[in-house]
Structure 1
């Protein structure tokens, strides 16, 4: 536990962190990678170049400082980050390294404003925060390894099938190389894959949502080609090749204890966790009323549409597709779609009972817009769940 003086000092630094947070985290990453380049095998360098990782870390530091006297308020966020850490292989021995260079970065950026008492308080506070992460992640590692069909860290899987789903998205059906049964996962979870790309100095780790329902003899990921790793998967890996993957992780999962209607809102490759939720809910809760809404550029970019339409054969499911740039074939064919964007009027026409559970996945702008529209329907904040691919840029939902 932290003493009152330390808590008071940490909370007093929140305005300074809000002003200089990204400068501090940028300096932190520069220092850490200069002194520990081996960590480049773990961290996503694309996020580093885009500076989204430093923004996410800055938000985490600010939230921790603001809630240092009530860390229980941010346990959901610690667990969310913990899932990511477990899936990529962050270990207890990494935390002293992070702490060392974070404190140096704070001192470097704040200069004389980082008085000795402030640095001492932050050293104590970091220890408490790190202990919370280590404790939670230890439980996650043990659960992943000791569950039925589970394993430790990474395990080789064979690409059993590779299917092109749209102009940008290809599905990979993955089976364990050792032929052993798969551990179960929850609809909405993801796996991390680790690849070694020729002529690249470091390994690359990326997360991809599991895009089929649990209970199969394979895991499926449906990957949009938009970066170094996804291009390597699309262009260089074929059926029969192997991938190293971690056990499923993530807390963006379908709540089967709820009896509310279900509304699934996705755009682009954001369909991947939601198609798993759709198919799983139809299987396990056939009586549950579901509205599935997906936005895409047009049918050429619309992956997994057939699977959504198959689910809609159940009387409890209503599907709706929104194309912002439909092709002539779309307009003259048999595809049912709404042209344009998802707006309030469109949602009201589709959702008969707004007292529902909402799950949203897509780009940051899509999530922000859908969250606003759904909130304006009068939905309770705790009924709105979303998954942002990439670093969690805002922690507001967990500390409000």
Structure 2
């Protein structure tokens, strides 16, 4: 239990975290990977190199310090962390390593005059408090996933039953359990974790589930990222019949229950979780608006599926926009409805005029920032406008 004095010391470090939090967390990761290389597998090194992971951790530490005496305000942040940890199979034994390295980084970056023994002791107590909260919450999720019909704990072997090229960049993998058992019916919008061995290197990655649950298998649709070790491995070296180690579904970016209208606005590979969401909403008879932005026909995935939905579900209103014109030799399943970048005018024309609409937005960060601003300007309240990041969460500035 934190004392009042310790809380005051934590809050006193907030200005330092606001100005130098990212330098602190960058130093923390460098030190942790050097001292404990076995945990490196738990972190996407692309996000490390881009600075998004240190930035996300700095924001989380800052939010925790700001709300140290009112932890209920952390709400969505805590849920995001728990779900990311579950998808990657973060376990209680990982927490002492992080705590030790974080406190060491504070001493080394802030210096002995600021990071006194008393300050370090306060942060040690604060970290343990947070670790206990997260460990407890994650244990509940692990137990629930193991106890659910078709659920499991830890890794489970799945076979690639089918590998389907969806576009020049995206390929789908249809996965079925090797043990022949049932598969947990995930919530639309969730993702799974994969444990891969790439040339002796242990990697863990999260991939969105791109189809509604059927109790028999799972589908992920993976974009090949330039220089991406994991995505390149899946595209080039994983074939039908191969086995993958899969962690249970997780994620809080899910379709809210109800019968009201919903809209899905996606950019690029952001279409993957919105497909599962839209499929469930359409099957439930809900009014659905589906708006997708792609660079061109060659990289536009699932155009044929969208065409079939248009024929099958009369309550579906769907639009596709290409940033570029149609490349020579590319024949989309359905011609685009517009060309160019996203505009507020498009959303105003295509979204239903109702104050009960829930909108789900997923794509590159600048794309989401613009769409969220436009939705707000068009009267969609923040409480009904939902988004998620692929990778570490960041501020939508």
Indicate the TM-score class for this superposition, using the shorter chain for normalisation: over 0.9
Alpha-carbon displacement from aligned partner over 1:293-328 (angstroms, at most 9, x marks no partner): 000011111101121222223121100001010216
The answer to whether the 8 A contact 1:77-1:395 is kept is no
8 Å CA contact retained: 1:59, 1:395: no
Residue in structure 2 matched with residue 168 of structure 1 by the alignment:
169
Stretches (4+) displaced over 4 A? 328-334
Distance of 1:40 and 1:386 partners within structure 2: 28
Structure 2: distance between partners of 1:158 and 1:336: 36
Confirm or deny: 8 A CA contact 1:354 1:377 kept in the other structure: no
CA contact (8 A) 1:261 1:357 kept: yes
Query: Unaligned 5+ residue runs, structure 1?
Result: none
Decide which of 303, 310, 313 is 2:301's aligned counterpart: 303
2:219 corresponds to which residue? 220
Q: Supply the distance in 2 between the matched residues of 1:302 and 1:377 (Cα, whole angstroms).
A: 27
Partner of 2:115: 114
Is 2:324 the counterpart of 1:292?
Answer: no
Q: Does the 8 A contact of 1:354 with 1:378 survive in 2?
A: no
Distance in 1 separating the partners of 2:229 and 2:300: 22
Pairing 1:339–2:310 present: no
Residue 73 of structure 1: CA displacement? Answer: 1.2
Which residue number in structure 2 is paired with residue 320 of structure 1?
319
Question: Aligned equivalents of 1:176 and 1:76: distance in 2?
Answer: 32
Change (3 A) 1:69 1:156: same
Q: Which residue of 1 aligns with 2:72?
A: 72
Deviation at 1:105?
Answer: 0.4
Distance 1:309 1:34, change over 3 A: same
CA positional deviation for 1:395: 9.1
Report if the CA contact (8 A) 1:63-1:395 is conserved: no
List per-residue Cα deviations over 1:310-360 (Å, max 9, x = no partner).
222312110000101021667999524211122111111111324210100
Matched, 1:132 2:133: yes
The answer (yes or no) to whether the contact 1:271–1:361 under 8 Å persists in 2 is yes
Question: In the aligned structure 1, how far is the partner of 2:25 from the partner of 2:59?
Answer: 10
Deviation at 1:48, TM superposition (A): 1.7
Aligned residues: 391
Mapped contact 1:223–1:230 kept (Cα < 8 A): yes
Match of 2:26?
Answer: 26
What is the match of residue 360 of structure 1?
361
1:203 matched to which residue of 2? 202
Comparing both chains, which one has the higher relative contact order based on Cα–Cα distances under 8 Å and sequence gaps of 6 or more? 1
